[in-house]
Amino acid sequence: MRFKLIIANWKMNGSFQFLDEILKNFGVETQFGGTDQVVICPPYIYLPEMSNRLVKSPIQLGAQNLSDYSEGAYTGEISAEMLLDTGCNYVIVGHSERRALFNESNDLVARKAERAIKAGLTAVVCVGETLEQRQQGVTEQIIAEQLAPVLAILGLEANSDKLVIAYEPVWAIGTGETATPEQAQNVHAFIRAQLGQGLKDVPLLYGGSVKPGNAAELFAEKDIDGGLIGGASLVAEDFLSICRAMPA
Ligand code: PGA
């Protein structure tokens, strides 16, 4: 079933002191407007502590990455099974920072998504074009290329319960420049069409400089089911007001 979802991506930010501060502000919060599910993705190292602290909270836990292997001699890697063991239900896969800075290919992203879903995690697969690609008019082609291996591996009839797609235009991430609701909706409608009937209930999130001031107009679009929030998720009040901006 399609549902409304907001995910906090802390990226490489935070500390134990920061956990104290941010959870004091909304760790026991239960009023998230029309948002059905709130997920926080801190750095790996804070997952066990967050898991303990969120026991009584409806907030779910996610990771920002995972290995495409399940165990063995892969120094420095973290498996889907370990994330489940730590209390995660979600994992972000193929964030544009990982694609650009850590050379993650479309195929690797698809393998990670498969690994996550097979293990029982919900994979939040990120797609999005650069500014140059948008200016060249190849946005849809780029998104289709990013989605193709994921859909090939999972199959169009896959269990949509464990898949979320986040559209994050690279030019909007951390820049303060947000896609207009119309630009975002157009790409979301394209993604929805690519997913087809078998995956019609997959939640589609928008990410890229979502703030309390622009969240409501983005979430009002018919194919936008929520947001993947970076910078604004580090400020408890802002994150909460973004969650509450979701229409019922
Ligand atoms: P931003 O990041 O909200 O800071 O633009 C979004 C993301 O990278 O997921």
- Residue 24 burial (CB count, 10 A): 10
210 lines ligand 1 (CB under 6 A): yes
Whole-angstrom CA distances from 71 to 28, 80, 94, 103, 234 are 35, 9, 20, 22, 32
Q: Which residue has the higher pLDDT, 202 or 27?
A: 202
Ligand 1 geometric centre to CA of 51 (Å): 23
Atom of ligand 1 nearest to the CA of 209: 5
Element (DSSP H or E) covering residue 37: strand 37-41
Ligand 1 geometric centre to CA of 213 (Å): 15
207 lines ligand 1 (CB under 6 A): yes
228 lines ligand 1 (CB under 6 A): yes
Can you give the pLDDT at residue 63? 98
Distance CA 109, CA 113 (A): 6
Nearest Cα residue to atom 9 of ligand 1: 230
Ligand 1 geometric centre to CA of 9 (Å): 7
9 lines ligand 1 (CB under 6 A): yes
The mean per-residue pLDDT over the stretch 218-244 comes to: 96
Atom of ligand 1 nearest to the CA of 207: 6
pLDDT at 27 over 70: no
Please, which residues have CB within 8 angstroms of residue 187's CB and are 6 or more apart in sequence? 139, 140, 143, 167, 169, 179
7 lines ligand 1 (CB under 6 A): no
Ligand 1 geometric centre to CA of 72 (Å): 32
pLDDT digits (tens, 9 = 90+) for 68-81: 999 999 999 999 99
Query: Could you give the residue numbers annotated as active site?
Result: 95, 168
Can you give the pLDDT at residue 209? 94
Distance CA 187, CA 193 (A): 10
Nearest Cα residue to atom 1 of ligand 1: 230
The mean per-residue pLDDT over the stretch 227-248 comes to: 95
230 lines ligand 1 (CB under 6 A): yes
Atom of ligand 1 nearest to the CA of 211: 3
Distance CA 232, CA 172 (A): 13
E-only strand ranges, 122-213: 122-127, 163-167, 204-207
pLDDT digits (tens, 9 = 90+) for 131-166: 999 999 999 999 999 999 999 988 765 566 899 999
The mean per-residue pLDDT over the stretch 114-141 comes to: 96
Residue 56 CB-half CA count within 13 A: 6
pTM of the model: 0.96
Quick check: 191 and 127 in contact, CB under 8 A? yes
pLDDT digits (tens, 9 = 90+) for 183-226: 999 999 999 999 988 888 999 999 999 999 999 999 999 999 99
Atom of ligand 1 nearest to the CA of 96: 8
Ligand 1 geometric centre to CA of 173 (Å): 5
174 lines ligand 1 (CB under 6 A): yes
